Amino acid sequence: MSTKVPQNQEDQEIDLAQISKKIGSFFESVNASIFNGIQFFVRNWIIVLILIVAGFAIGLYFDAKKAYSNEIIVTPNFGSVDYLYSKIDLLESKIISGDTVFLKEIVGIKEPKNLNEIKIKPITDVYNFVKNKPENFELLKLLAEDGDVNKVIEESTTSKNYPFQKIIIYTKKKASEEKLIEPLFAYLNKSDYFKKIQKQVCTNTNSKIRQNDSIIKQIDGVLSNFSSATKYSNRSDKLLYNNENTQLNDIIKTKDLLLSEQGTHKIELIGFDKIIKESSVTMNIEAPKFINGNLKLLLPLVFIFVFVLLTVFNSFYKRQKLKISPTL
């Protein structure tokens, strides 16, 4: 037992010595790396300075550039939602391709080069989607049976049919309604097919309003006659009175329903003056700058990093080439 103890102590001392050497060599390599890095920047200080100045100048230029968004909330009437989406997709393709002739001559936008992007997305409004439309409510229930109701609400087949849609136009500088919004809606509302539908729907709605007005007048006449009759009726005719009172309640309910329907039709006519009806226009919202406007600080770091990376790669390539060249 006594002969093994010194050997264990010697092994432990050797292990500790090796560990201390490895730690020492690690710190020496770290110091060497730091020194080499300092030497690298000292040797290439002119290039580094140029990269810093160039990156700062380019970043400052892009940070100073502003972009704006213009948001329009619209209602596509007469089943024109797919027509609206196809028109917006067409305009987006023309903006991407730089077809300023189409945007200026066909659409009528005065400053087509000012456009960056146009897109459309639905405004989620399930309540108005199913309001007074039992068929829409049943459709939602049916679609939600096989999946998550939230996904059904958000998917395009459902969301495209919400009453309100939002058109977003991104511009390079501030725009005006006269030069951008008015020509755009004149173009969107230029459809012979939907104009015919618009005319017929307005005719039908006005006809329905006139019919309801006539029925309401008749109901008012009945109520007036009933009021006059009750003044002279015999109070002993309780059975007849109760029967007439029940009929009177039904008549009053019918009148209330008709008045509510009249109000709905009159509100509809306000929106039926256009195929694509705008309800809200918000112009020149300053878009958030890329990385919060700190591009002037980020670009110099990016340029220096790329320069260091290319230098390291070039050095690695030369070393590997020297190792391989004797065998070639």
What is the per-residue pLDDT across 109-122, written as a single tens digit (0 to 9) for each? 999 999 989 999 88
Does residue 316 belong to any structural domain of this protein? yes
Q: Are 281 and 143 contained in the same domain?
A: yes
123-165 pLDDT, tens digit each? 876 656 556 565 555 666 655 666 555 555 556 566 677 788 9
Residue 47 has which token pair?
Answer: 């290039």
Q: Are 53 and 70 contained in the same domain?
A: no
Range of the domain at 227: 198-271
Residue keyed to tokens 């002037």: 296
Average pLDDT over residues 70-96: 93
Alpha helices in the chain (DSSP H): 4-43, 45-64, 81-97, 100-101, 126-130, 134-144, 149-154, 156-159, 182-188, 192-232, 238-271, 295-324
- Cα 317 from chain centre: 48
Q: Are 44 and 183 contained in the same domain?
A: no
Question: The whole model's pTM is what?
Answer: 0.65
> Residue 92 sits in a domain of what CATH number?
3.30.70.100
Does residue 297 belong to any structural domain of this protein? no
Does residue 296 belong to any structural domain of this protein? no
Q: Are 77 and 182 contained in the same domain?
A: yes
Residue 98 has which token pair?
Answer: 């730089």
Total number of domains constituting the chain:
3
Does residue 298 belong to any structural domain of this protein? no
Q: Are 89 and 154 contained in the same domain?
A: yes
How far apart CA 182 and CA 102 sit, in angstroms, is 16
Q: Are 181 and 123 contained in the same domain?
A: yes
